[in-house]
Amino acid sequence: MPEFRRDPIGGYWTIISTERSRRPVEFHAQGPTEERECPFCEGREAETTQEVFAIRPGGAATNTPGWEVRAIVSKMPILPEGAATEAYGQGIYDIMDGIGKHEIIIESPKHCHDLDEMDPAAVEKVVQAYIHRINAFEKDPSFKYALLFKNHGLTSGSVRDVIRHSRSQLIGLPVIPKRVKEELALAKSYFERRERCVFCDVLKQETKETLRIVAENEFFLAFCPFASRAPFEMWIMPKWHQADFGRLDEDKIRPFAELLRECLIRLRDVLDDPAYNFILHTAPFRHMAKAVYWKTINEDYHWYLQISPRLTKNAGFEWGTGVHINPTPPEDAAQLLREAQV
């Protein structure tokens, strides 16, 4: 079982694989290896791990063809399922069992590489699947957060990009990650000072200045953030105030899917299918609703999807300072993305 270990100097948790240690020679053999047939395509259901969810309009049986979106348990989970013991100390160090849940959401029965190749109705079903799975994770009281993300292309850090079949990943976590906690704390302190949501204020300023807007529809705004850490970074944010992506109303799913698809088409047009990560920023699960900390989350937090192309590499300066260097101003990136052919 992997271990969460906390560094007493930096305060961060790391997941250490203790089951099977990766040896030096294995880091060299890291290049993509050809897979003959794609295990995620329709018709090969028996070869994947256990199916946990699928949209099957015809009502076909589990683990058979006839699905439009399908979620399976990861074959190589970052955090496996299991019963966790209590966290404990080892001298000045803290340790916790690396228990969680890791699902793969296969976004199409056909062999396509990303959402931008699918039609809007198909992307709508993918978003329905995201919402279904996040809400399913929320029902398990052992998870405090579920992170939805996508690794697209080799430099996105995807270890199996050679498969080239569009998919996202969802990981249930027994802790609220440091990055999420920091965002929550800042949103809360902003609200306390001004009685306004910082995300709503960002939307107001972006709408007024217009120069960083990429695309929009009635319900969502897509823009390059003012302090973009990655060149051509985009955020898709609901124009109304909502803390939980999992509470997205039925009638907003299609507009969100359409804008997401459009942003990915624009990205591909401008940058010729770049590697990217997308990360959903949403409120943590609130089983412990009594805690004072959670009281204000519905008013001070606001979900959004962050799309970060991986065009540059981090080096000593970024690791040492936490400050990223972005060689393309978001105003220039937004203009190019706006002018793209869709």
Residue 27 interacts with a copy of itself (CB under 8 A): yes or no:
yes
- Of these, 69, 221, 330, 334, which contacts a copy of itself (CB under 8 A)? 330
Q: How far apart are CA 61 and CA 216, in angstroms?
A: 39
Q: How far apart are CA 233 and CA 253, in angstroms?
A: 22
Question: Do the Cβ atoms of 142 and 287 come closer than 8 Å?
Answer: no
What is the x/- site pattern for a copy of itself, positions 33-72, by CB under 8 A?
----------------------------------------
- How many residues touch a copy of itself (CB under 8 A)? 93
Q: How far apart are CA 101 and CA 74, in angstroms?
A: 9
What is the x/- site pattern for a copy of itself, positions 99-138, by CB under 8 A?
----------------------------------------
Residue 314 interacts with a copy of itself (CB under 8 A): yes or no:
yes
**Pair of tokens at residue 83:** 């019963």
Q: Interface with a copy of itself by CB under 8 A: which range of 13-21, 44-52, 62-70, 114-122?
A: 13-21
CB of 72 to a copy of itself, least distance (A): 17
**Pair of tokens at residue 231:** 């060149």
Residue 342 interacts with a copy of itself (CB under 8 A): yes or no:
no
Q: Which is nearer to a copy of itself, 198 or 264 (CB)?
A: 198
Residue 32 interacts with a copy of itself (CB under 8 A): yes or no:
no
**Closest residue by Cα to residue 82 from 95, 103, 97, 104:** 97
Residue 143 interacts with a copy of itself (CB under 8 A): yes or no:
no
Beta-strand ranges (E) seen in 88-166 are 88-90, 93-97, 101-106, 145-152
- Of these, 69, 104, 187, 265, which contacts a copy of itself (CB under 8 A)? 187
Q: How far apart are CA 168 and CA 302, in angstroms?
A: 22
Q: How far apart are CA 68 and CA 224, in angstroms?
A: 31
